[in-house]
Amino acid sequence: MANKSNHRTNDARITRQQASAETASVNPENTVKTTAATKPVVKEIDPTQYITVLNGYQGKLTYKSRKTGELFKWNEFGSEQEMELRELRNAKNTYKKYFEKNWFMFNDEFAWVIDYLGVGQFYKNAISIDEFDNIFQKEPKDLKKTIEGLSDGQKKAVAFRAKTLIADGEIDSNKVIRTLEEVLGVELIERYN
């Protein structure tokens, strides 16, 4: 019986948020209501609900469930797959690198999942899929600061994307290219001595 109770608690668990308002929205269907003493009252979060997971890896990404054997494939950066919330919880426990390297990304509708899974520390400085190319428009000083805060996975994604944009002529500023090479520790263009 204790096992069933513990399972129920885990399904409804969320990260405690500072309660400065009477109600804080976790997602449209699940609301955390707070009393004046900051104790949240949580509605049940359905672990079988489907969550849209975006590919944060520059290329093909594959995830195989250790529990069910189900295979999930994303063909390119930004492509989407639907996964059950409980499968994401399993992934966090068995393949944490998908979160640490920001290979699993979430749009605004499902951003609450990051806190629910307790992986917020890996997404603190993450750049959303929609905003990814905008970092290359920044001034070198701001670009350096932004990239320094990224996860290793997103730094690799930036390097890959930068090489593509340089080859396509979309990044042509020598200052930006030098800054990218310096902060990423990679050679983006071939230099002849």
> What is the total count of domains within the chain?
3
DSSP state of 83: E
Same domain for 56 and 119: yes
Confidence of residue 11 (pLDDT cuts 50, 70, 90): very low
Domain of residue 76: give its range: 50-123
> In this structure, are 38 and 57 located in the same domain?
no
Residue-level pLDDT at 189? 84
Q: Is the predicted pLDDT of residue 168 greater than 90, yes or no?
A: yes
For 48-88, the pLDDT digits (tens) are 999 999 999 999 999 999 999 999 999 999 999 999 999 99
Task: Give the single-character DSSP code of 34.
Answer: E
Residue identified by tokens 């930068």 is: 162
Last residue of a domain, one of 98, 123, 148: 123
Q: Which two tokens stand for residue 30?
A: 């699940």
pLDDT per residue as tens digits for the range 107-137 = 999 999 999 999 999 999 999 999 999 999 9
Q: Is residue 99 part of a domain?
A: yes
In the three-class reduction of DSSP (H, G, I as helix; E, B as strand; rest coil), residue 50 is classed as: strand
pLDDT computed for residue 24 by the predictor: 36
Q: Any residues with CB less than 8 A from the CB of 18 and at least 6 apart, and which?
A: 38
- Do 30 and 59 share a structural domain? no
Angstrom distance (rounded) from CA 1 to CA 150:
43
Do 58 and 34 belong to one domain?
A: no
Q: Which of 116, 114, 104 lies closest to 80 in space, CA to CA?
A: 104
End-of-domain residue from the set 71, 89, 123: 123
**Which helix (H) or strand (E) covers residue 85, if one does?**
helix 85-94
Residue 193 lies in a domain: no
* One domain for residues 118 and 180: no
Neighbours of 119 (CB within 10 A): 20
pTM of the predicted structure, to 2 decimals: 0.72
pLDDT at residue 36 in the model: 43
